Amino acid sequence: MNIIENMEKEQVAKLTEGKNIPSFKPGDTLKVHTKVKEGDRERIQVYEGVCIARKNDGLNSSFTVRKISFGEGVERVFPLYSPNVAKIEVSRIGKIRRAKLYFLRALRGRSARIADDLAAAAKAREDSNKD
């Protein structure tokens, strides 16, 4: 393993020290708690939507969340290891067969819904009860 990969692993370990990053995939509905700085105050704002893409690239990992706000589709890319991302919650697990869900951009209303993966949700609930 080269020096850059070692440094990157150390940085990832340092950035995830106090955080619990859940395992999620495209199709899952996420609640991303982001830190917003307004003047001298800081607050946490929740951005809830469907994860449509995930890029796993070590320290540069990111994920894209899409939501509908006032009838308009809004997408936001979050760096996975950013200090501005306070917490990530998985609220629903979606059943999908694609790695990137960019086709949702063209769909509206009922056709844009993603079916729940009930088996995965039951397994996740079971795993959380064990801990």
Kind and range of the H or E run holding 124: helix 118-130
**Which domain does 90 fall in, by range?**
3-130
Cα-atom radius of gyration of the chain, to the nearest Å? 16
pLDDT tens-digit series, residues 20-48 = 889 999 999 999 999 999 999 999 999 99
Q: What is the DSSP letter of 116?
A: B
Letter for the amino acid at 93?
Answer: I
Q: Give the pTM.
A: 0.87
In 3D, which of 75, 76, 73 has the Cα closest to residue 109? 73
Number of domains in the chain: 1
* CATH of residue 14: 2.30.30.790
The pLDDT assigned to 25 comes to 93
- The residue whose two tokens read 């589709």 is 73
